[in-house]
Copies of this chain bind each other. A is one copy, B any other.
Amino acid sequence: MALKGNVIVGQSGGPTAVINSSLAGVIKASWKHGIRRIYGMHYGIEGLLNEDIVDIEDYITSGQDLSLLKRTPSAFLGTCRYKLPPIEGNDALYEKIFDILDKRNIEYFLYNGGNDSMDTIKQLSDYALAHEKKQKFIGIPKTIDNDLPMTDHCPGYGSSAKYIATSMKEIIRDNESYGVSSPTICIVEIMGRHAGWLTATAALSRDIDCSGPDLIYLPEVTFDIDDFLSRIKDLAEKKKSVVVAVSEGLQTADGKFVCELGTSNDHIDAFGHKQLAGTAAYLASRVKEETGLKSRYIEFSSLQRCASHLASRIDADEAYNVGYIAAKAAFEGKTGMMVTIHVESREPYIETYDMFDIHEVANVERKVPKKWIINDGTYVSDEYLDYARPFIIGAISPYTAGGLPMHLTMKKKRK
């Protein structure tokens, strides 16, 4: 097969620890298939619209570069949160995009992101089909939130899970070390607006050497503050260290976010999502007020999505594979699809890959199944743990210099 068209690849939405492994997969597939030029969108589709486009081989030319790229957190090409407007009434914008692609003879368009980013693939592939454009559009799944449908799980989730479970083990030990005086209540806030997949990973810390968190609250369940406070009081009578994992997106029965109850630092992002912060801080202050117990809070913040030093090997490998497979599918003429992961066997762990129509994927959020949420909405079941345990196995060790991980940056290698 002699391919004449060029490739463009973009990264979109929140970065992950392994998003660049997918980029490495796209580059490797392009090399294997003799693609002449591999373009990168600098800051996603928003960069493309500004014609801020880079030639990837200005920065990456060898297998060694790819190895370092895989170990580099956050979006190498830069990312964006930008949603294309509806096709209807916006022909000029869409024609502009295709002009930009045509000018560079780009035939293969690969976009790595979550729900919102898959909408970009849907819109562009629909437009291309309706207007008989030659370009092929394939989505590469990526989200620490693990909320894409049709796929067993999403690349990015496993590494965040490994970071959260490792840090939870260390936090629980730290919290347990003070024991003589009054109990300490530690509330840990974890990302995930509407789906509790990431918060659930806190349960992975439970093992023979760690009790795990005492309570886990996911956004799938309505949060009852009085019930929460009464459980904290009961636990504090039994043990000196109480650790609770809460999702940033907890909502009370009247539909209010818990983080909005204390302060009013809400803010609407480009997709109309509220920027959430402060659920754990608010709950820790309520615990102190209402029970007099010593309380503190921890927010994993962006560390949970960029800690490549704790990336999972299985996650990094899968991220690479979905990138490679997406590029290969585009080269074979497929369009309007997203690559998905299927788990043939969880023990031993064997995964396979498939493709799904992008219309079944874009803008759909998959939540944690209700049957996996137990103890009146305060924990996750063993079935969830069996589901998630394989994702954190193994490690992709960083390359280090002077005791710190090395990262690949956008410094030009050639003129």
Contact = CB atoms under 8 A, between A and B. Distances in A.
Interface stretch (A1-9, A123-131, A219-227, A392-400): A392-400
Contact of A305 (B42, B174, B270): B174
A177 interface: yes
A74 B170 contact: yes
A173 interface: yes
A403 interface: yes
Given A78-B179, A178-B80, A173 B306 contact: yes
B408 A209 contact: yes
B166 A309 contact: yes
A170 B303 contact: yes
A205 B265 CA distance: 30
Given A174-B306, A409-B209, A404 B179 contact: no
With most chain B CB atoms within 10 A of its CB, the pick from A178, A265, A270, A310 is A178
Given A80-B180, A169-B404, A174 B210 contact: no
Interface stretch (A28-36, A43-51, A99-107, A147-155): A43-51
Given A174-B305, A265-B285, A180 B403 contact: no
A50 B309 contact: no
Contacts of A166: 309, 404-405
Contacts of A50: 180
A46 B180 CA distance: 7
With most chain B CB atoms within 10 A of its CB, the pick from A165, A205, A298, A301 is A301
A170 B308 contact: yes
Nearest to A394: B403
Given A73-B173, A180-B46, A404 B207 contact: yes
A56 interface: no
Contact of A78 (B78, B177, B277): B177
Contacts of A403: 162, 165, 312, 389, 392-395
Give 5 closest A-B pairs by Cβ, nearest first: A392-B403, A74-B173, A174-B306, A75-B177, A393-B403
